[in-house]
Amino acid sequence: MQLRQLEYFLAICEVGSFSGAAARLYVTQPSLSQQIRALENELGADLLERGRHGVSLTPAGRIFLPRAQSAVQAVQDAHDSVRQVVEGRKGDVHVLTVRSVASGILPSSAARWHSLFPSTVLRLHDFSHRRDLEEAVLGGRGDIAVGPRPASWDGPVTSLGYEEMVVIGPAEHPSDTAVEPAELTKADWVLYEQEQGMSEVVDRMATHCGFTPRAVARTGQVSAALLFAVEGIGLAVVPENAVPLRWAGHARSIGPGFYRELVTFSRKHPSQLAARYQDMLTSLELPLTAEQDLPPGAFRY
């Protein structure tokens, strides 16, 4: 049974004659009649009766008509659904990211996306470490990734800007205060578990500053590290965008500034819908610093 045969059958039912249906469909009447005979032979029943006053449905035809209409409509709906996805009007966008970025960078983008594309679904998948994120992208588990720049990547990469890493402690300080190197060396530290990507950030910071942090606590969550540090358990390094406003006075820069670049990347050119999300990210005012606005002497990676 072919879709064309169902469409021919429905056209005959709507017009009331073989000749009229052939004219509507721009086919010859013998070709139309041949397809209807093939359909009837496959079903083992006559569907149409040809009479003096036109064509009428047989009992089998009356039973078959609503099924044929449903089948043709289902195919049309399927075509329309795919077209809406291809045109970026409907569908899901699977965004892969790391947890600190999911909570500190992407919420504003989710709100903006929903206002622009209310018929789509933004699906966010977060990972503890950037290596897990990169493996997920390589495995085809998402449309686009947002996270630290991969060390090497065979695919499209677009920079979004730099997020500053700051030191959090129990005391409040004036804005734009930098932590002294001697304090970093002497302090107790709230560190991250190795499976948490922020552990890599702390390791790079400590290496750059030339000391080995003395751990008094470890956690897998940035929010927990913040709480521990504010309560005075030890110092912690967190992304500035993850610091709630009420604790902003507890944050201090690391020297001239310690920054991590964030990018979007994917295995291949993103689908139209995912590309629209990427374009929206690059146009939003995210809590990131543009490369040209980084302070002199800032460490970046």
Per-residue model confidence (pLDDT) at position 79:
73
CATH code of domain 91-161+262-300: 3.40.190.10
Q: What topology is assigned to 162-260 in CATH?
A: D-Maltodextrin-Binding Protein; domain 2 (3.40.190)
Per-residue model confidence (pLDDT) at position 159:
95
Q: Which residues are CB-contacts of 92 (< 8 A; sequence separation ≥ 6)?
A: 120, 121, 122, 123
Per-residue model confidence (pLDDT) at position 73:
87
Residues of the chain with CATH 1.10.10.10: 3-86
Q: What topology is assigned to 3-86 in CATH?
A: Arc Repressor Mutant, subunit A (1.10.10)
Per-residue model confidence (pLDDT) at position 107:
86
Task: Report how far residue 223's alpha carbon sits from residue 236's, in angstroms, rounded to the nearest whole number.
Answer: 11
Long-range contacts of 16-22 (CB under 8 A, 24+ apart): 16/54, 16/55, 17/54, 17/55, 18/50, 18/55
Per-residue model confidence (pLDDT) at position 84:
59
Residue type, 47: L
pTM: predicted TM-score of the whole model, two decimal places: 0.71
Residues of the chain with CATH 3.40.190.10: 91-161+262-300
Of 194, 112, 109, 201, the closest CA to residue 148 belongs to 201
One pLDDT digit (tens) per residue for the chain, 301 residues:
898 999 999 999 998 889 899 998 889 999 999 999 999 999 999 999 887 777 889 999 899 999 999 998 888 877 766 675 666 555 788 999 998 898 888 888 888 888 888 888 888 899 999 999 999 999 988 899 999 999 889 899 999 999 999 999 999 999 889 998 889 999 999 999 999 999 999 999 999 999 999 999 999 999 999 999 999 999 999 999 999 999 999 999 999 999 999 999 998 888 788 888 898 888 888 999 999 999 999 999 8
Residues of the chain with CATH 3.40.190.290: 162-260
